[in-house]
Amino acid sequence: MDRKLAISLAAGTVVSVVTLYFAFKNVPFDELVLYLGSVDYFVIFPSMAAAIVAFVFRTLRWRVILGPAKQVTFSEAFHPLMIGFMANCVYPGRIGEIARPLILRAKSGVRFTTGLATVGVERLFDLLFLLVMFGLALSEMDPGAGGRVEFAGYAIDRGMIVGAGRGMIALVVLICVSIVLLTIEKTRNALKKTVAASTRLLFFLDASRREKFAGKFVHWTSQLMENIATGFALVKSPRRIAVCLAYSALVWAFTVASYYAMMKGSPGVDLSVVEIAAVMVMICFAIALPSVPGYWGLWEAGGVFALSLFGVESKNAAGYTLVNHAVQVFPVIVVGLVSAWATGVSLKSISKHTGKKDHCIVDGDALQDAGKQI
C-alpha cells in the first residue's frame, strides 16, 4: 500500500474508533442487538432504491456539467461516478474524487484537469444544497419542550441552533459571491498578484528557499483559482445552472427519501421529513472528517448526536444509524464493483495511481498518463 494511503488509513482508523466509542458508550450492547432484531428490514428495499435513483440524478447532473467540454453518454458518466464513490467506501483518503476524472480520461478522453474541475463543481452544488437544508432545518427545529438538549457533556439550546442555521445560510451567500468573483478574470489576476506579494512575508527564509517556496505556492494557488474558474465556466449559462440546480434538488430529495424510508421501519424513530433531512445533513458534515473507508465511526457519531437533538433514545438512534449506514454504503460498493468489472477498471491501479493525488492541482496533467493505464 502507498505510504500516504497507509498513514491516511491509520489516522482515519483512530478517528473512527474514538468516535464509535463516544457514539455507543452509553448504549448497552444487548439492547442494541435486540433493537437490530426489531427493525422491519423490508423497508431496506425502497430505501436502497431511492439511494440508487439519487446516483442516477448525480450522473445526469455530471453530464450537464461536462457538456461544454465533451458530450458523454450516460454509461460513460455513470460508471466512473459509481467507481469513484465505491473507492471512497473501500479506500482511505477520499481517493474516489481523483479516481473519477482519471477513469473518465481513460475511457472518454476528457482532460484530467477538466474532469477534476467538474467534480469540484458537483461538490459545490452539493455543499450549497446541504448548507441551505441545514440552515432551514435547524431554524425550524424545536429541541424538546425544555428548549435544551444535552449530549456527551455538551448543552445545546434553541438560540444556538437558530444562530447556526442563520450562519449557514450566510455562508452559502458568501460562497456564491466568492465563486462569481473567481469567474472574473480581472479578479483572479488581482488575487494572483496579492498572493505573489504575500510571499515577501517569508523574510525569515534565505533567498533561495524563499524563491523556491514562493514559486510553488504562487503556482499552486494560481492553478487552484483557474481550476475553479474553469469548472464553473462549463456551467456559466443560466440554463445549465438551472438544470444543475434541479438535478441537485432531486439528488438530495431522493437521498432524504432513502433515509426516511429506512426510518419507517426503525422502532422509536419518528421524525418529520424536515427533521430527517437535518439528521442527514449533520451526518454528511460529520463524515467530512478523516475516517476509515466507508466512514464507519464518524457516521454513527454524527447520526446518534443528530437524533438526540430530536429526543430519540440512544439505543434507537444507534440502531437506526447503523442499519441506515449499511443501506447507504453497501449498494454503492456493489454497483461500483459491477461498474469496474463492466469497464475493465483495475481496483489495484486506482489505489496505485491516486496515491499521486497530492499533485493533482499543481500538476494535473502528470496524472493523465496514469489515467491511460486504469
DSSP string, 152-211: TTEEEEHHHHHHHHHHHHHHHHHHHHHHHHHTSHHHHHHHHHHHHHHGGG-TTS-HHHHH
Q: Walk along the chain (374 residues) and give the pLDDT tens digit of each residue.
A: 455 545 544 554 554 455 455 545 555 566 666 777 778 889 999 999 999 999 999 999 999 998 887 889 999 999 999 999 988 887 766 778 888 988 998 888 888 878 888 888 888 889 888 888 877 776 656 555 445 545 445 455 556 656 666 776 777 778 778 777 777 888 888 888 887 777 766 666 666 776 776 677 777 778 777 767 766 676 677 888 899 999 999 999 999 999 999 999 999 899 989 889 989 988 888 777 665 666 777 787 788 888 888 888 888 888 898 889 988 988 888 898 889 888 888 766 666 655 554 433 333 344 444 444 45
- Measured in degrees and rounded to the nearest 5, phi and psi for residue 21 equal -60, -50
Cα 104 to Cα 71, 100, 109, 332: the distances in Å are 12, 6, 7, 18
pLDDT at residue 311, as a whole number: 82
pLDDT at residue 372, as a whole number: 47
pLDDT at residue 121, as a whole number: 84
Distance CA 322, CA 327 (A): 9
Angle between helices 238-264 and 314-343 (to 10 degrees): 130
The angle formed by the CA atoms of residues 227, 232 and 233, to the nearest 5 degrees, is 95
